Amino acid sequence: MMQKIITRLQDWVDVKLRNHCDRLPKSTQRKIVLAMLGIFAFFSLSLFGYSLYRLGENEGQEMAVEHLRLLPDEITRIHKEIKP
């Protein structure tokens, strides 16, 4: 039931959107598509540039690693498992 409602809503929106877009002249449609492409290209290139900028930001710092400490009981248990 819910799937039918969603499908009908999608079809209705599709028809309305196509009608509105078809009323626009071809030159206006082309301008809208090119503007959307330009906006997408700008944001994708700016994100790529920002990622490259941040890539070497923490290069001088070493990664902190916490070592595991084994308790004496765990050490004896491990030795018993290794040596039969």
Long-range contacts, stretch 69-75, CB < 8 angstroms, 24+ apart: none
The yes-or-no verdict on residue 69 having pLDDT over 80 is: no
Share of the chain above pLDDT 90, in %: 48
pLDDT band, very low/low/confident/very high, at 73 (cuts 50, 70, 90): confident
The yes-or-no verdict on residue 79 having pLDDT over 80 is: no
Angle at 43 between CA 14 and CA 19, to 5 degrees: 15
Going by C-beta distance under 8 Å and a sequence separation of 6 or more, which residues neighbour residue 21? 29
Question: Which of 21-25, 27-31, 79-83 has the weakest average pLDDT?
Answer: 79-83
Question: Which of 4-13, 51-60, 67-76 has the weakest average pLDDT?
Answer: 67-76
The yes-or-no verdict on residue 5 having pLDDT over 90 is: yes
